[in-house]
A and B are shown apart, each in its own frame.
Chain A
């Protein structure tokens, strides 16, 4: 439904990535509509995380084109892609363990000029913004805890909050539900839907199909590095090709 209304924010066009002789991603093509939540699913080893790495610049595609908002991302460094508004999380939540949750959230805040650099980061509205973000993630009570001491689920929330502090246009979530307690999952779903309402686009790699089917508008199925099906969640569950891919051959 969204696809027809919104322009495509992210487009992958015949993208391939080989490791040695093995094709991790093989002529993969799909598109993500602006302000949508797109699920990227597929059996283990189908190339989902590799696709994330390619989009976010952590590895370079061998062939094909990746366009974000009409501009080609191929070959750009992760930092540059991030500045274009594409953020990602990692399977093992990557946070700054020896900083507090609040400090974690303030790391990506951009500071201009020498004054911005020298001035204490605890001033000028940054703290308020960070607290607000933690509140939205139902994590206010851990604001001053070192993140290294938090549980896995809480770290994932902090990781997501850190990314959201710099107002990305598109967020790639790598298995956000894995190993996370269902209560945190509820917070996460609610937060994602809110942010999407505010105009953020999400792409989610996830094994938890219930989670995907609940919140995604559009689902792309990968198998052995190729797109084998895409469509609305309800259509995908009935798709024989997808069932075969998951059950194995």
Chain B
């Protein structure tokens, strides 16, 4: 894809998202659109750590939930009136979540791979446990309410939709800036070979922590808007493992590590899973969701965008795909390619 085509694609999606609530005014449709946007944002912010650095987190709903609680408590503490003013507090929630993520990320990132994934699951559980047990702060199992805006049912989702869209655009922009920066290059190097990256002077620890914290801050803001839109936050809707898994799965479906992948994955999967949950009962939903999940990992392990990229590349290039599965060459292999290359140089 050329650069101009790519920009046009992004603009098209943005304009379509801006116009969506004006065309589809049905509140039920808008509520699905809101959840879809939420997943676009979550998958994109998940991608900054999980996709770029290859550190798969299954605990993003820890920060999603933390942001929700922080929002509810802040609004209550400062006696913020219902309506539009709460949205002005969102940046603060993002910063707060990011600050909390610093020590957590520092501890979690002392591990790698499998252990890291496990620790992020534990992180999610510990936030949920805190929400349940710190009753005086969080309201325990009963939860915490938001000030209720007096918007009409027809209008209700629009402010949330546009607030969510703003945060989503910020998330994608942040991911874009990171991807093009020295930080992003370092993260990609960490994904490919962390020891080597460290050995040639990439400050791996700070880079990973930066990615963790950025990703957490964005998730915190997204969680805050979501919690406000449902007006009530309690441990089960705040810290939902299905949200963590959903964000990761959507990023994988579209292509982890690419900018457009998580967006595409979420646009496909989020409405599908919401629709599905309307039509089948809870048990069947779980079975179908699990099956879908398995199918994606099985059929498209590297995601839609990279697979398309491969198709384009293999057409334009004569280089054979040598590294796909094992990541290593056998030493002493005859280098037929080198001959071609040297011939190319002489020409």
In the complex, A touching B (Cβ < 8 A): yes
Chain B contacts of A107 at CB under 8 A?
185-186, 189, 197, 200, 202
Which of A4-12, A26-34, A116-124, A222-230 lies on the face that meets chain B? A116-124
Residue B199, interface by CB 8 Å: yes
Is B337 touching A83 in the complex (CB atoms < 8 A)?
no
The answer to whether B200 touches A97, judged by C-beta atoms less than 8 angstroms apart, is no
Count A-B contacts at CB 8 Å: 135
How far is B184's CA from A184's CA once the two chains are assembled, in angstroms? 31
Task: Please tell me if A190 contacts chain B, counting CB pairs below 8 Å.
Answer: no
State whether A121 touches B185 (Cβ < 8 A): yes
Q: Is the CB of A141 within 8 A of B344?
A: yes
Chain A 134-149 interface mask (CB, 8 Å, partner B; 1/0): 0000110110010011
Q: Does A210 contact B (CB under 8 A)?
A: no
A71 beta carbon closer than 8 Å to chain B = no
B150 contacts partner chain A, Cβ-Cβ < 8 Å: no
Q: Are A149 and B319 in contact (CB under 8 A)?
A: yes
List the B residue with the shortest CB-CB distance to A98. Answer: B192
B15 proximity list for chain A (CB < 8 A): none
Docked-complex contact B333 and A119, CB < 8 angstroms: no
B329 at the A interface (CB under 8 A): yes
**Residues of B contacting A110 with CB < 8 Å?**
201
Closest to B186 in A: A107
Q: Return 8 A-B CB contacts under 8 Å, by A number.
A: A95-B193, A96-B188, A98-B257, A107-B202, A111-B182, A117-B182, A142-B341, A179-B332
Q: 20 extra interchain contacts, Cβ-Cβ under 8 A, other than A79-B201, A148-B322, A184-B338? A: A82-B201, A91-B331, A92-B331, A95-B196, A96-B193, A98-B257, A107-B200, A120-B181, A151-B336, A151-B337, A152-B331, A152-B333, A153-B335, A153-B337, A153-B338, A154-B337, A179-B329, A180-B338, A181-B339, A183-B341
Interface set of B (CB-CB < 8 Å, partner A): 177, 180-186, 188-189, 191-193, 196-202, 257, 317, 319-323, 327-329, 331-339, 341-342, 344-345
